[in-house]
């Protein structure tokens, strides 16, 4: 592998994918067979500034540069060569949110991320207007809420986009988005594979009396499908990405995508009757639909695959943050006892212990709500643990309830899909941090949704690998394969995966837990109202 990989990198045949996750920016370099050659990582955190969850521009660019430098250093260390050029590059990021720019390309207000739950009025009014569910996270909800708030900056908007769209624009000069990411900005017309023109006209009519000097279509990105060219890395972009000046301009770039689209790609979940679940800081599950839903649901978003098929998506703001906080408490205790903690071993030990717990967690209840949770109607969150005095309070049940509650909100959304809309999936493919301890995350998810859950060996590389695959697909598109066929035939043929079937006792136990979870939401409401 070493000599072959060195040659691939030296010849500029490697493909790079970079994804901005909530807590980590990750770069993955692959060869034409989609094998990982090297990885670069930079950890970062959002900040709550003036009650808005945001990342600063310095954090965005400093984080990207640090991530790329880490990748370049690892390539040098592993193969003794520098990255001078590449076959293709792709960028992706956490979906949704709001970045608005003036005519000079200056950011008008701090980046508003997906995590904010500050657009309820806009979400409700647009959902009613379009007869189509517009979640609070979506870019159009943020724009309309800014209009409702009478924010001064709105009149000066020349362009608004998502984080992935912003990065791509600054590196290529192209104001474009992949259709999957675009579907988290504004509703998509599935037939035309573009923003819904009727709804754009409705929006323009809605705000006509405001007298802004722009129409909605003029300030949104152009929508592209997987496989289409999205421009090239400019000289300015090359310097922004690689501060050493080694990387050359002119590298082909694929349409920027969101973490939903890269997750679908990384788990081979773009064909109908497939689905995937990404579980980390936030959690979302997607099912590629065979037909439209019977009606709009507040708990279900409609997005698309990177090649434009309709997807029902349940997105929840909270998943493993509180779980991680508890693991860190155990780490702190372990180190106070004079031991050095190996985090992989600590997570593995605690997660596996959860499998020994009672099916329904022994009567324990917790909510890992670090932030608001739209699916259950919370604008803010308060992490909470509560139990009856006679509940079975032991380590196994404590870890089990923290794993179960990480999936509580998404279970409520998925029940609508499976129990009310009768959607059928052959399996769910899991990826993200929850699945790192073999078998545990899969078993818990299978219990929650009563569907087999598989994890592939590449799932650990996640969305950064997924966007690298999409970048390579753009290079191969001339051969006429659909994205689904390409993934089946070229990327995942012979792929190793582990599959966990739902256990009847676990499924019944999760049903009892979710009943307790639903009733206990009143406790969470009191916590939110009381703790200020």
Are 430 and 500 contacting, i.e. CB atoms less than 8 angstroms apart? no
Whether the predicted pLDDT of 284 surpasses 90 = no
**121 assigned to some structural domain:** no
477 and 521 in a single domain? The answer is no
415 and 496 in a single domain? The answer is yes
510 and 433 in a single domain? The answer is no
368 and 480 in a single domain? The answer is no
**161 assigned to some structural domain:** no
Q: Which residue range forms the structural domain that includes residue 381?
A: 321-406+505-530
- Residue 302 sits in a domain of what CATH number? 3.30.420.40
Q: How far apart are CA 202 and CA 368, in angstroms?
A: 38
Structure tokens at 74: 């690892």
**395 assigned to some structural domain:** yes
379 and 414 in a single domain? The answer is no
Instruction: Please list the residues that pair with 288 across neighbouring strands.
Output: 311
Q: Where is 62: in which H helix or E strand?
A: helix 57-79
402 and 416 in a single domain? The answer is no
Are 54 and 100 contacting, i.e. CB atoms less than 8 angstroms apart? no
388 and 520 in a single domain? The answer is yes
Q: Is 96 helix (H, G, I), strand (E, B) or coil?
A: coil
Structure tokens at 180: 């999957």
Higher pLDDT, 5 or 461: 5
Say what percent of the chain tops pLDDT 70.
Answer: 98
**128 assigned to some structural domain:** no
pLDDT class for 493, splitting at 50, 70, 90? confident
Whether the predicted pLDDT of 479 surpasses 80 = no
336 and 446 in a single domain? The answer is no
Are 133 and 302 contacting, i.e. CB atoms less than 8 angstroms apart? yes
393 and 326 in a single domain? The answer is yes
Residue 509, pLDDT score = 98
In whole angstroms, how far apart are CA 114 and each of 200, 283, 520? 22, 12, 26
Q: How far apart are CA 226 and CA 179, in angstroms?
A: 8
Number of domains in the chain: 2
Are 260 and 277 contacting, i.e. CB atoms less than 8 angstroms apart? no
Residue 273, pLDDT score = 85
SS (H, E, C) 176-240: EEEHHHHCCCCCEECCCCEECHHHHHHHHHHCHHHCCCCCHHHHCCEEECCCCCCCECCHHHHHH
- What is the tens place of the pLDDT at every residue in 184-226? 999 999 889 999 999 999 999 999 999 999 999 999 999 999 9
Mean of all residue pLDDT scores within the chain: 94
414 and 497 in a single domain? The answer is yes
Whether the predicted pLDDT of 292 surpasses 90 = no
Count other Cβ atoms within 10 Å, centred on residue 250: 11
The pTM assigned to this predicted structure is: 0.81
- What is the tens place of the pLDDT at every residue in 59-110? 999 999 999 999 999 999 999 999 999 999 999 999 999 999 999 999 999 9
59 CB contacts (<8 Å, ≥6 apart)?
44
pLDDT class for 458, splitting at 50, 70, 90? low
3-state helix, strand, coil split of the chain in percent (to 5) is: 45, 20, 35
**451 assigned to some structural domain:** yes
Average pLDDT (16-32) is: 96
Average pLDDT (440-445) is: 96
Tally of residues, the chain? 532
């Amino acid at each position: 592998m070493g000599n072959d990989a060195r040659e691939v990198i030296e010849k500029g045949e490697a493909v790079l994918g970079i994804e901005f996750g909530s807590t980590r920016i990750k770069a993955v370099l692959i060869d034409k067979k989609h094998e990982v050659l090297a990885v670069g990582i930079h950890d970062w955190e959002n900040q709550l500034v003036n009650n808005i969850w945001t990342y600063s521009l310095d954090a965005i660019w400093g984080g990207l540069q640090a991530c790329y430098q880490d990748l370049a250093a690892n390539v040098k260390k592993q193969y003794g060569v520098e990255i001078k050029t590449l076959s293709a590059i792709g960028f992706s990021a956490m979906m949704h949110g709001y970045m608005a720019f003036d005519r000079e390309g200056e950011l008008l207000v701090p980046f508003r991320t997906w995590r904010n739950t500050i657009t309820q009025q806009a979400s409700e009014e647009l959902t009613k207007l379009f007869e189509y569910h517009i979640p609070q996270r979506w870019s159009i909800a943020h724009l309309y809420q800014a209009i409702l708030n009478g924010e001064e900056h709105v009149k000066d908007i020349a362009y608004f986009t998502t984080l992935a769209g912003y990065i791509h624009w600054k590196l290529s000069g192209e104001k474009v988005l992949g259709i999957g990411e675009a579907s988290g900005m504004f509703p998509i017309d599935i037939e035309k594979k573009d923003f819904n023109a009727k709804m754009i006209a409705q929006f323009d009519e809605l705000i006509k009396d405001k007298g802004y000097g722009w129409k909605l279509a003029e300030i949104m990105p152009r929508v592209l499908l997987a496989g289409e060219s999205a421009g090239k890395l400019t000289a300015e972009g090359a310097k922004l990405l690689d501060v050493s000046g080694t990387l050359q301009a002119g590298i082909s770039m694929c349409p920027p995508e969101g973490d939903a689209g890269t997750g679908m790609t990384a788990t081979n979940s773009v064909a109908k009757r497939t689905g995937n679940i990404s579980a980390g800081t936030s959690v979302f599950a997607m099912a590629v639909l065979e037909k439209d839903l019977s009606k709009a649901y507040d708990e279900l978003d409609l997005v698309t695959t990177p090649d434009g098929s309709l997807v029902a998506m349940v997105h929840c703001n909270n998943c493993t943050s509180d779980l991680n906080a508890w693991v860190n408490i155990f780490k702190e205790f372990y180190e106070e006892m004079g031991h050095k903690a190996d985090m992989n071993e600590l997570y593995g030990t605690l997660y596996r212990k959860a499998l020994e717990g009672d099916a329904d967690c022994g009567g324990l209840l917790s909510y890992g709500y670090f932030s608001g949770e739209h699916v259950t109607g919370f604008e803010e969150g308060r992490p909470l643990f509560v139990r009856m005095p006679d509940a079975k309070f032991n380590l196994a049940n404590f870890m089990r309830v923290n794993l179960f509650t990480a999936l509580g909100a998404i279970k409520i959304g998925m029940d609508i899909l499976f129990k009310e809309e009768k959607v059928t999936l052959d399996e769910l493919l899991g990826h993200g941090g929850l699945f790192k301890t073999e078998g545990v995350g899969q078993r818990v998810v299978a219990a929650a949704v009563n569907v087999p859950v598989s994890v592939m060996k590449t799932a650990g590389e996640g969305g950064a690998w997924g966007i690298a695959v999409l970048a390579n697909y753009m290079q191969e598109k001339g051969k006429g394969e659909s994205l689904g066929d390409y993934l089946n035939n070229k990327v995942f043929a012979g792929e190793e995966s582990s599959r966990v079937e739902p256990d009847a006792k676990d499924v019944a136990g999760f049903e009892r837990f979710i009943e307790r979870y639903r009733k206990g939401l009143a406790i969470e409401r009191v916590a939110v109202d009381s703790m200020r």
